[in-house]
Amino acid sequence: MAKVVIPEPLKTPQQEHAEVFGDRTEAEIIAQAPLTVRLGGDIVEIKPLCISESRKWRVLFSDRAKELTGECFKIRELTPAECGDTFSRLFISAPETLGDLFFAYAKDLDRAKIEETATDGELLAAFMGVFKYAFPLLDPLAALWGLISNVLGPE
């Protein structure tokens, strides 16, 4: 009788990153240890920004996110042809926006070299690490929201 082999589910870039580099410890966060990521097969370090630079980056992120979400909300008001054009722009501009935001944070990296060697998945995983650096309150807020939801119970 033939043995049935069930393939393992594909891992997200974030899961792959966590397996290779692990999650940052509280001591690493406090010590401002650089984020270690793989881009184009190379291991690179990204230093956390200071508060004022991180604040500027968050504003840039917010502005770029508004541009993308604004396009999404227009879709309901468009003709099918206009909707297709909008989706095309989104599918092209969203990855470009992610790259622009990543390299705006990781200014010391050689963008041209990385774009020639790295994959979209590597860039996404690196971006998610940068995102956690720039928005350090998201994990504690999510935990707090979970506690509040448990206390309040279902609606």
Ranges of each domain in the chain: 13-136
Q: What is the pLDDT of residues 35-75, one digit of tens each?
A: 899 999 899 999 999 999 999 999 999 888 888 777 666 66
Q: Tell me the C-alpha distance between 135 and 37, whole Å.
A: 18
Phi and psi at residue 42, in whole multiples of 5°? -95, 145
pLDDT confidence of residue 154: 60
Answer for the pair 125, 13: CB distance below 8 angstroms, yes or no: yes
Average pLDDT over residues 24-31: 56
Structure tokens at 104: 């705006």
Token pair 């920004």 is found at: 49
pLDDT confidence of residue 60: 94
pLDDT confidence of residue 90: 74
Work out the pLDDT band at 15, boundaries 50, 70, 90: low
pLDDT confidence of residue 138: 72
Phi and psi at residue 136, in whole multiples of 5°? -70, -15
Angle at which helix 51-74 crosses helix 120-134, to 10 degrees, equals 120
